[in-house]
Structure 1
């Protein structure tokens, strides 16, 4: 497959995000899974051959290398790798066999060859999964459907990342020849809505509309938290792909947010872009015009007007679907307190100004 002939920086970023989250997810999930006698699963539905032509490891090998290095993961991981091409699965089997330390895995990786179709979707919706992290990276959009996503996230401890070929899906939404594929991803109702509003819409608004409908559909399937990471072309003026993370738990969302933020190629006022483009390094001013920290300082007093709230509740409520991390909220609250725009109360006498531990309640005045 041509995709694996040459490794790109974008493919390295994608693999790093997925393997980094897998390690964090596994270490959080394993103690709870063990209490119920469960293993943890990793599922890759489009695994590829395991290496690029230059010899660099792709996601399957990076995930297994992570497991080999951690004895807890090695003892509890059941991994499933599938691809639609027998040549890929044959090569992947050989590459896995050659991994140093592969014998440390208690459960040998399971490798299958088959199409990811509606039968596969029915299977995942029918069976009860042990805690599972799934990666869905189709070549294009065939095989990526709302039913597959629902199936792999429905059970406890199940998170998912899928690669969303924005360029092809953007073109496909209004293409009657691939209507069935678009309907299976967005739902027919949402796809019809997009077909009615997208024509004539400028590219940035078009991208936002497509992503919003996709996120809303995933949330309707039970994916409470949806976090996209954008890949742009080499000139930085066009989105090519998006990596979409889905979880039912804020903790997973927050971990992935930190990983994606660190993988971003630019930041504005210290707030990550959640995007990667080679152009960002050479044209940073193009991507530093939004002033996000200034917006956060203006928004928080309005959003929480008249309310009293602990920091944890404030952060978990406001940060979802926004690019801000915990450090940004602590910084802005410190500024707001110094400016007299908020007050705090606590039962501790030695609280340092500008700190927001669990014993501190933050009070926002009514906006007049």
Structure 2
């Protein structure tokens, strides 16, 4: 990893750290009380030195600081940090030792200095692992593979967040020198098909295809729920990378969706973009040209025509793979109710103003017969 990477924390790095830290906290509170032997783990295979040159803490230190303050985690959390750069791993150990109260943790943080490859995969697949949240954040793509991600997802309570360097992967797919790494990431058959498919595509469609194919590969190996979060360059003109979340459980997907939605730098009709670009804060666009909430109303009338179900049942059956949050569904249903396009039980005058609880029943009108 280039030395300059940790010299100063960028806005993108701050957002990335916030997403991982917020999900870790939510995940730990749910999983720790249910873990069979009471142990959970956080694993970071490309951990870095712990702090940026400006003093800002990176994710490993945030995770440990939170564990020290949380009685639920202090005696349960196992942490494993690795970095191939010996200077980084040594500096990380020094920074960990400086954390107030670090000795109160039951399990001492482990810091390793190993190449991320088959040896680590073999160690992890030797037996079942405790519920683990893994964060895989390589500088480029070396070490990132479907096998590695699958290893971290194979047991109960395990979720994975990984860094997908779109720029380097986009360039690497047709580079014979790094073919082995691309094949490890997508699977050789899918990588070969992708190389043929993307040849004539414009940049925007090419990006969508690449992200779609990695999502398909993750789902095929058992990562049922995949959620990408896009980072743009400072000008907002190009994608730099993605943070991709993978889980086997719908609850994890729902929680991360809320976190990523909240960290998005723009919204359209209160619908998050699931992307971050610093330019959005200084150069806002006229997003009313796109009306995703209006579109959702039409989609719901079409797809649920003639059906009666609760708000929660509708949301659970429909939101996966879409960027709408539960609050967006409630807004859309409330709008349709106001327009008289569906029946709601209890009706608006029997509910607290402005609310649309999970148990509220919605009846959609049948489709109109074509004349």
Normalized against structure 2, the TM-score is what? Answer: 0.94
Residues in 2 aligned to 1:358 and 1:8: alpha-carbon distance in whole angstroms = 39
1:29 aligns with 2:31: yes
- Secondary structure of 2:227's counterpart equals strand
- Secondary structure of 2:333's counterpart equals helix
Q: CA deviation at 1:345?
A: 4.4
How has the CA–CA distance of structure 1 residues 122 and 307 changed in structure 2, closer, same or farther, with 3 Å as cutoff?
farther
> Is the 8 Å Cα contact of residues 311 and 359 (structure 2) preserved in structure 1?
no
Aligned pairs for 1:37-186 (under 5 A) are 37-186=37-186
> Is the 8 Å Cα contact of residues 146 and 187 (structure 2) preserved in structure 1?
yes
Residues in 1 aligned to 2:298 and 2:318: alpha-carbon distance in whole angstroms = 13
CA displacement, residues 57-82 of structure 1 (integer Å, 9 cap, x when unaligned):
11111111111121111121000001
Residues in 1 aligned to 2:173 and 2:146: alpha-carbon distance in whole angstroms = 15
- Off by >3 Å, runs of 4+ in structure 1: 286-289, 344-347, 349-360
Residue 365 of structure 2 corresponds to: 365
> Is the 8 Å Cα contact of residues 82 and 112 (structure 1) preserved in structure 2?
yes
Normalized against structure 1, the TM-score is what? Answer: 0.95
How has the CA–CA distance of structure 1 residues 76 and 288 changed in structure 2, closer, same or farther, with 3 Å as cutoff?
farther
CA displacement, residues 137-190 of structure 1 (integer Å, 9 cap, x when unaligned):
011000000000000011110011001100000111121221111111111121
State the number of aligned residues.
Answer: 365
- Secondary structure of 1:150's counterpart equals helix
Residues in 2 aligned to 1:45 and 1:319: alpha-carbon distance in whole angstroms = 31
Residues in 2 aligned to 1:69 and 1:160: alpha-carbon distance in whole angstroms = 24
> Is the 8 Å Cα contact of residues 161 and 244 (structure 1) preserved in structure 2?
yes
Q: CA deviation at 1:2?
A: 2.1
1:4 aligns with 2:34: no
Residue 199 of structure 1 corresponds to: 199
Residues in 2 aligned to 1:288 and 1:307: alpha-carbon distance in whole angstroms = 31
Residue 338 of structure 2 corresponds to: 338
CA displacement, residues 199-242 of structure 1 (integer Å, 9 cap, x when unaligned):
12111111110111111110111111111111111110100010
Q: Which stretch shifts more, 209-218 or 117-126?
A: 117-126
How has the CA–CA distance of structure 1 residues 68 and 180 changed in structure 2, closer, same or farther, with 3 Å as cutoff?
same
How has the CA–CA distance of structure 1 residues 354 and 11 changed in structure 2, closer, same or farther, with 3 Å as cutoff?
closer
Q: CA deviation at 1:352?
A: 5.9
> Is the 8 Å Cα contact of residues 122 and 147 (structure 1) preserved in structure 2?
no
Residues in 2 aligned to 1:64 and 1:229: alpha-carbon distance in whole angstroms = 25
Residue 260 of structure 2 corresponds to: 260
How has the CA–CA distance of structure 1 residues 251 and 6 changed in structure 2, closer, same or farther, with 3 Å as cutoff?
same
Residues in 1 aligned to 2:326 and 2:358: alpha-carbon distance in whole angstroms = 14
- Secondary structure of 2:156's counterpart equals coil
